Amino acid sequence: MPSPFDAAPSSFAQRLRPWQPTDKGLSLDDLDPGAKPFSLGDKARDKAAVEALALELDTLQNLFYADKRYKLLVVLQGTDTSGKDGTIRGVFGRMSALGVHAVGWKAPTETELAHDYLWRIHQQVPPAGDITVFNRSHYEDVLVPVVNGWITPEQHQQRLAHLNAFERMLSETGTIVLKFLLHISADEQRQRLQERLDDPAKRWKFSLGDIAVRKQWAEYRRAYDTLLHATHTPWAPWTIVPADSKTHRNLMIATVLREVLQSLDLRAPAGDPSLAHLRVE
């Protein structure tokens, strides 16, 4: 199966490789969430680069929408406060609303629970020409139930296999799947949660459940290590994004998206040749 990165320059693939799972397994504890591998040297230059990339991505997205040969699913996965909302604003915010959609996943509804756990996910994958961004994703189904002991180890392994097969089916039917794990430190999460509490304009985003989940930090870290190793595939690769720096997080993700979209040789349809000499009075 081809990878979304196959057509990208080999130098880019090498630059990305330290931030992707390997066959030998992976522990997030071995990766520094404060690292800035895509930084240009200082925050001001990085911010300027993000702005330039956002404009470039808008142009590429317009071509992507007109081309209609591809579909793109971007998965943003991470703990509370890891920056999923901020990534959508910073990386995708300049793109036209035509053909770009963000889907936020919360606990399943009663209707959704009456179906298989991927039923609700499949309804939201992108159609031809569209870019869909998942804020959280189907990977919640191998995180929350695992950490809380709601499914057996056998069911856990079964679900991991389901997810690989689901994403392979998407890839084989024309969907490019890019998955980003936003990797922050426990200390950075503590600071961001406190900022939410201290700012009346952000306090609505805080829930006491965030504290309960934070107490399960080690359990969630182990669940993430397992899913990253099990579901990093050629057709739906994971990229781990060190995200203690919000600016660097956006820079790295925007750079990956730019490289993938550029590698597609996007082109708009030729249009009606009889219109070439039409002049609007």
* Cα–Cα distance measured from residue 18 to residue 242, given in angstroms and rounded to the nearest whole number: 11
What tokens were used for 63? 């071509």
Kindly state the average pLDDT of the residues 254-264: 97
pLDDT score for 205: 81
Distance, CA of 51 to CA of 241 (rounded, Å): 19
Q: What percentage of the chain reaches a pLDDT higher than 90? A: 81
* CA nearest neighbour of 94 among 128, 61, 118: 61
DSSP class per residue in 145-170: HHHTT-S-HHHHHHHHHHHHHHHHHH
Identity (one letter) of the amino acid at 43? K
Contact 132, 74 (CB under 8 A): yes
Domains and CATH numbers, the chain: 10-266 (3.40.50.300)
Cα gap 130→66, rounded to integer Å: 9
Q: Look at residue 25 and tell me whether its pLDDT is greater than 90.
A: no
The neighbour count for residue 83, using CB atoms within 10 Å, is: 25
83 residue type, one letter: G
Closest by CA to 4, choosing from 100, 71, 95, is 71
**0.85 exceeded by pTM:** yes
φ, ψ at 265 (rounded to 5°):
55, 55
